[in-house]
Structure 1
Amino acid sequence: MNGKIVGLSGSLSNPSRTRALVAAAVERAAARYGREPVVIELSSIAGSLGGAVRIGDLDTVARAAVDLMIEADGLVLASPVYKGSYGGLFKHLLDLIDPLALMGKPVLLGATGGGARHALVIEHQLRPLLGFFEAQALATGVYASDADFHDGEIASEALLDRLDRAVGQFAPFLPQVAPRSVAHSDAVHALAF
């Protein structure tokens, strides 16, 4: 295994459509590029994160999550839409990261919301944020609305097709290694935060 594809689900809810989107993206990318899949749930580190003024204030578990993001071969970052933008704690986590730590890192951007009217949050909010970090935000962002899910799982073929196109855009950044065979039930290692 050459490295990890790390996803951050910026939702504080459980269960979460954002987590389902992140897990699907991480699972597909890890299988395609032969990496280990890891999903970090913002809700699992929220307590430490909320009280941190600088990265050194994080407890060991939250700091390990940030380190995984920084060291990952590729990132998947997704947030539910709150009042037309990403969530505040999601942004706070990114605020703690050194501005050069994500430079050149390929990042698949995603978001979830109630309806189609929030789809541009990726272009107007997330993409400029990652531009500040000089990360390589993949060209295709993936937005999912309530209608794309059934019983908490992605049910839209159009969404899965878009997700596969976005995952394919990791190719120039991730040297191909032996593909992994991944069963859905154990596909993503969620960190026990």
Structure 2
Amino acid sequence: MTAPLTVVAVVGSPQSPSRTAALARLILDTLAGHTAIDARVIELHTLGPELPATTDRESAGGAVEEALRAVEGADLVIAATPVFRGSYPGLFKHFFDLVGQYSLAAKPVLLAATGGTERHALVIEHALRPLFGFLQAWTAPAGIYLGSGDFDGTTILNPEVYERIEMAAADVVPVAHALASVRATGRATGSAGPVARPA
């Protein structure tokens, strides 16, 4: 029997409730329809002043260290952020700056973002994908961007969004299971080093 995927969604919104958190939870619900998952949502603003005050990993403690370890130990990461002036907020970047240098290597990451208008839609390709490419993660081919017109408050209304998320889930679940299996085999045999990136 295949073990559940450990999925951690990191939400970069500065407050709750938020459209970005609603999108992340919809993605989790969709993934759960494809495979068994053990899901967690980390809303960065809930880490309070401790996160911006953490200048390096050695100084991380308490909730920040626990959140970082959760991301590093996940089988699949959902990186969900609002867009401000064409890019992700600084707190979102700061969090991933603290993640271990190779902890996301060959790990699947599903990219998601929300913004005021469709003018920000390319944030997936121009900002998020390069960030996680630097971390050597495997980013799912389909990113998910929603503008304010896709929502009523935090309720997602656009039916096309559900189709895009279904497509993204179908792409990422087999890869996440395959890479999780490779990592589990490596741990069992005592093998070290990054797993091969999927084609």
When Rg is computed on C-alpha atoms for both structures, the one with the higher figure is: 2
Could you say which residue in structure 2 is the equivalent of 1:88?
A: 90
One-letter amino acid matched to 1:96: L
- Residue 49 of structure 1, aligned match among 48, 51, 73: 51
One-letter amino acid matched to 1:152: T
TM-score (norm 1): 0.87
RMSD: 1.4
TM-score (norm 2): 0.84
Offset of residue 27 of structure 1: 2.1
Is this contact kept in 2: 1:5–1:29, CA < 8 A?
no
Offset of residue 59 of structure 1: 2.7
SS at match of 2:176: coil
What number of residue pairs does the alignment pair up?
176
Cα distance in 1 for residues equivalent to 2:87 and 2:168? 21
Cα distance in 2 for residues equivalent to 1:138 and 1:4? 16
One-letter amino acid matched to 1:71: G
Could you say which residue in structure 1 is the equivalent of 2:188?
A: none
Percent identical across equivalent pairs? 36
Could you say which residue in structure 1 is the equivalent of 2:102?
A: 100
Gaps of 5+ in 1: 177-193
SS at match of 2:55: coil
- Residue 11 of structure 2, aligned match among 2, 9, 32: 9
Could you say which residue in structure 1 is the equivalent of 2:116?
A: 114
Gaps of 5+ in 2: 179-199
Cα distance in 2 for residues equivalent to 1:151 and 1:53? 35
Cα distance in 1 for residues equivalent to 2:48 and 2:91? 7
Stretches of 4+ aligned residues off by more than 2 angstroms: none
Could you say which residue in structure 2 is the equivalent of 1:173?
A: 175
Higher relative contact order (CA 8 A, sep 6+): 1
- Residue 24 of structure 1, aligned match among 16, 26, 29: 26
One-letter amino acid matched to 2:8: V
* Higher helix proportion (structure 1 or 2): 2
Is this contact kept in 2: 1:109–1:138, CA < 8 A?
yes
Cα distance in 2 for residues equivalent to 1:37 and 1:70? 14
Cα–Cα, structure 1 residues 63 and 31, in superposed 2: closer, same or farther, change >3 Å?
Answer: farther
